[in-house]
Structure 1
């Protein structure tokens, strides 16, 4: 197999074409002749995503946004915790436990970190209903607990359910509360990644299923809040938040 100069083309702005080609490869993207280049594309994506997240946190903070827990206590939360040195070990552990994980997910874990944009906007009180971006893979909000232990227990629960109902579908690694839980309302299953998946960016399961990078682009086009929610100021606020963010 020969690669298609994906990194250079990605940098030139041919991002959609590059993702399309890489997705068509499926797990063949892990061929030794392709893997390094494909992973480099995902690393570029992750660095652009991190830029966007840092920009969103800065803009929201300047607007008086309060980042807090999705419960009645509204405990202050740090909205972005950059990836730490243990992130590479988490990638190794996930693949040992659940099989291959998408290359884009590996890049996110190693180069981005945990993001939590749940909170309250002073001019858009319903912002929590707009499905704010949350991706938590390192468990930084709960340092006293083991994120590996949490993922393992979720897998055990899925295995038990799959035994009773084989049509239950593949395991979904939970990385975010669903839209309703983010708004402190009883909701449905968490958002996450279908595993195992040896492809480029895998399927991210939210309100709908889509490739992870497609989901992130949707989020950033909407300033971190991809779902429609009440509030007359939402269009102006989203536009201001999304201005200048990088397409992935």
Structure 2
């Protein structure tokens, strides 16, 4: 990958889109992970305003500190970057207390994990509307178009997606080129929605390089019976998520009314 040219292309695309939309800049949630670090650095390089939000909800200290350090690094290098912490933990706790109890605790935990992402999306759009900013998405190609590993109308609710055509390994390559802190480059990827230390790989059962391999095999028309052992297992995992989350990756279904009924 021609990383320098890719960076210039994305930065120019971001700037052109914002100017054409008559918007002043971007707002992004910075989590302490590689995707938000790279996206925020790319937005900062446009020279337009960038507001970085920290939105912890029972967040691990290491995630919070990585986010803080990254924003400080951005502000040191880009005068157009500002920072706004918003502690959403009390809001989340109040909402949980107001919701009725359910029998299936596992389903409840999954639903509440997605609720965290949707609270953050709401917060991002509050500031976006207030300041005439665009909400910049942080999803990469594997998450957005491979396994659908994001929350519908949560971190999937954005105005534009600058890194959605980059594989996860390519995001790391761009991050290294941009000078993103080593603590972020070395941290295991996590969606940070559970309030514990589980990683994306813990949840999915496969690493991002493995998922990228499976995505490439599917594009070649391969099937699970073409593989054995770990490769077959990874391909099954990929296909399971791809199938289950297809509803996130296609346009919202519209019930078309026959003209004869109108």
**TM-score, length basis structure 2:** 0.25
Structure whose residues are more often helix by fraction? 2
**TM-score, length basis structure 1:** 0.26
Q: Answer with 1 or 2: which has the greater Rg.
A: 2
